[in-house]
Amino acid sequence: MKTIFITALIAATATLTGLISKVETASAADFSWDSSWTQSTVYSKSQTGFNDAPFQQFVQAESAALPNSGQFKLDPSKLNLKYDHDVSVYFINEGASFRNQLAFDAAGTTNKSGLLFNDISCEGAGCVGDWGGNALKLGDGVNIGNITAGTQLDFWLRADGLSRGTYANIYGTNTASNADGLQHAVAYAYNNYILLAFEDLYGDLHASGVDSKTGKWNEGSDRDFNDVVVVLDIGEANVKALIGASVPEPSVTLSMFAVGAVGMFGLRRRRQTCTSN
């Protein structure tokens, strides 16, 4: 009888593990960028009441650490919701001349995907760069609707997607989904929100020339994870659940983002010399 019970327990555990694994990997396996997506309605912070100011403190000097920030590092590929919530995504800042795009994917009890920001280019006081576009102001947000418990949220950056279209590199929160095999997103819990930040340049630190593994061009990346910075409102209860279930991973040792040295950005962001993929 004991043997039968143990066998049943192992089988049940294996089934549960498989289900969890399926939820955690579904977005990486099934996601594809839909070029027919249209820009979600963008609401200003005066409309939503969202205050971006507390998060601007993390937009600081090039490759600088974030001492005493009060943040808790999370695995960005495991943003699993334990509770239902009406989810919103807010633009914080950007340090890129690329005209990046950001999309989301929800897999599990809620299944949907769509475009969040079609042109991540900053306008107004407080913007890091001045490379044109002027599509977003600090604190602008979009709402993706009610996401139910048991859903994994994932986010995807199409690097310079507005200009390169289908030729653009797409980076997800799961390192294995990225063509260069490198991490392109970091996530932190702060003030009951999630800060999510992306690196938009292909390749390892300062790498140039053709990547022999893929045939793609390295883009001299500085690996500073400041090219798109957003805040996710997934609800206080979900943030606390993620903190309780997470063990911070040390895979990214550089600063989460760092956008103070505008002069350095001016140099490294002149990417016209990069060959199109």
73: pLDDT confidence band, cut at 50, 70 and 90? Answer: confident
Which helix (H) or strand (E) covers residue 170, if one does?
strand 170-172
The token pair that represents 251 in the structure block:
């895979």
Handedness of CA 105, 51, 149, 237 (dihedral sign): positive
Name the residue with tokens 């883009």.
219
Q: Tell me the C-alpha distance between 96 and 105, whole Å.
A: 23
Range of the domain at 154: 2-273
Which helix (H) or strand (E) covers residue 141, if one does?
strand 141-147
pLDDT in tens, 199-240: 899 998 889 999 999 999 999 888 778 889 999 999 999 999
Task: Over range 92-97, report the average pLDDT.
Answer: 88
Whether 197 contacts 173, CB under 8 Å: no
Total count of domains within the chain? 1
Q: Tell me the C-alpha distance between 242 and 76, whole Å.
A: 10
The DSSP code sequence of 148-200 is -TTEEEEEEEETTHHHHGGGS-EEESSGGGSTTSS--EEEEEETTEEEEEE--
The residue type of 110 is T
* Cβ neighbours of residue 18 closer than 8 Å, sequence gap 6 or more: none
φ/ψ bin of 268: left (φ > 0), alpha (ψ from -120 to 50), beta (otherwise):
alpha
Which helix (H) or strand (E) covers residue 104, if one does?
strand 100-107
pLDDT in tens, 190-200: 999 999 999 89
Q: What is the 8-class DSSP label of residue 217? A: B
Whether 102 contacts 156, CB under 8 Å: yes
Q: Tell me the C-alpha distance between 273 and 277, whole Å.
A: 12
Q: Tell me the C-alpha distance between 174 and 260, whole Å.
A: 27
Reported pTM: 0.79
Question: What pLDDT does 132 receive?
Answer: 75
